[in-house]
Amino acid sequence: MDFNLSEEHQAVREAARDFAENHLLPGVIDRDNEQKFSPELLRQMSEMGFMGMMVSPDYGGGGMDTLSYVIAMEEISKVDASAAVIMSVNNSLVCWGLERFGTEAQKEKYLTQLASGKVVGAFCLSEPEAGSDATSQHTTAIDMGDHYVLNGTKNWITSGGTSSICLVMAQTHPEKQHKGINAFIVEKGSEGFVVGKKEDKMGIRASDTHTLMFTDVKVPKENRLGDDGFGFKFAMSTLNGGRIGIAAQALGIAAGAFEISLKYSKERKTFGKPISEHQAIQFKLSEMATKVEAARLLVYKAARLKDEGKDYIQASAMAKLYASETAMWVTTEAVQVHGGYGYVKEYHVERFMRDAKITQIYEGTSEIQKLIIARELLK
């Protein structure tokens, strides 16, 4: 068992850290306040190769492994979790799903644009009545011969406003239940495709989250992913890998909050000495550091299993569960370490705490992760 990173992985970490500190950190509080992510920053992320890291160079991607991806995700998330979730959805859910299950024609037409960052993708599974119960798809796709007609609503869609290409799950054969669901590539701008209101969120505020509505949207038959009825399996397979990305995001949020707290504890003085010399603060820092390191090892393990072509379902669920719970705990403690300053936006940790909460919810709640882990244990 080797815990050392290769020179390539170290280089990825340094590049991501440099980009985060020099490009994302300036203005991160303003972006959170204004609920806007800069198109210029998105362009820079694309130029750095962060939007298609694991995609084959044949389709304009970086051809990197999953470990490289989670290392970059951690460093980006240490500074700006909103940037990280844009990156995560495009990499883990959209690009990976297309490369793994798309036809050659679909890859040439769509994946090349997504991997290069020319356009941003969105993953559309959740609905008003289909969150944790993803089988309850009320969006329908009626087979009309050479095309499908799509009707329905999708909720909580990351990059819903800025995306140009959406992967949409819809029910074609209700009598077959989840085996009747299909997945489609739907282009923004299609007649009947409407972007709804932008959600005013507690955290990850700079990433845009929208409701998407489809009214008699025509989707060409060639835009279906996989065989008829493959949609639910496509969604679940894609989410298994996506959880690793969100686990890395949660890890980064926790690590960022810890690093800021450690630095602050050496500078802030009470009773004539730095608060880092008080045992109460030392105990907090010790537990924060231990939890962050444990989360990191779980995330790296899941990434390595995926890279080695081994079963990573349980590992990804464990990483997602533990890292997200750690992010919430560490960021809350970070605010406490900072005292009154922790409640002020200037010190960043209150934003980390707000951003951390969603990692326990999206791409499978903590409760769903426990069900997945139990299911894998009891096989």
Q: Is 209 within the bounds of a domain?
A: yes
Q: Is 36 within the bounds of a domain?
A: yes
Q: Is 207 within the bounds of a domain?
A: yes
The number of folded domains in the chain is: 3
Q: How far apart are CA 215 and CA 127, in angstroms?
A: 15
Q: How far apart are CA 137 and CA 159, in angstroms?
A: 21
The set of residues, in sequence order, having a beta carbon less than 8 Å from that of 237 and lying 6+ positions away, is 97, 100, 101
The helix (H) or strand (E) run that includes residue 238 is helix 231-267
Task: Answer yes or no: do 265 and 373 share one domain.
Answer: yes
Catalytic residues: 363
Q: Is 2 within the bounds of a domain?
A: no
User: How far out from the chain centre does Cα 7 lie?
Assistant: 26
The predicted structure's pLDDT at residue 131: 84
Task: Answer yes or no: do 250 and 362 share one domain.
Answer: yes
Task: Answer yes or no: do 150 and 36 share one domain.
Answer: no
Q: How far apart are CA 47 and CA 33, in angstroms?
A: 26
Task: Answer yes or no: do 208 and 281 share one domain.
Answer: no
The set of residues, in sequence order, having a beta carbon less than 8 Å from that of 307 and lying 6+ positions away, is 65, 66, 67
The predicted structure's pLDDT at residue 130: 85
Q: Is 132 within the bounds of a domain?
A: yes
Q: pTM for the full model?
A: 0.96
Q: State which residues form the domain around 210.
A: 122-232
Q: Which regions in the chain score pLDDT beneath 50?
A: none
Please check whether residue 85 is in contact with residue 249, taking contact to mean a CB–CB distance below 8 angstroms: yes
Task: Answer yes or no: do 332 and 360 share one domain.
Answer: yes
Question: CATH number of the domain that 128 lies in?
Answer: 2.40.110.10
Which tens digits make up the pLDDT trace of 209-253?
999 999 999 999 999 999 999 999 999 999 999 999 999 999 999
The residue written with tokens 């200037």 in the block is 346
Task: Answer yes or no: do 350 and 264 share one domain.
Answer: yes
Task: Answer yes or no: do 370 and 243 share one domain.
Answer: yes
Last residue of a domain, one of 232, 257, 276: 232
The predicted structure's pLDDT at residue 132: 86
Task: Answer yes or no: do 372 and 244 share one domain.
Answer: yes
Last residue of a domain, one of 198, 232, 266: 232
- Strand bridging mode 147-158 / 165-171: unpaired
Please check whether residue 307 is in contact with residue 66, taking contact to mean a CB–CB distance below 8 angstroms: yes
Question: CATH number of the domain that 291 lies in?
Answer: 1.20.140.10
Task: Answer yes or no: do 357 and 246 share one domain.
Answer: yes
Last residue of a domain, one of 232, 264, 290: 232
Question: CATH number of the domain that 101 lies in?
Answer: 1.10.540.10
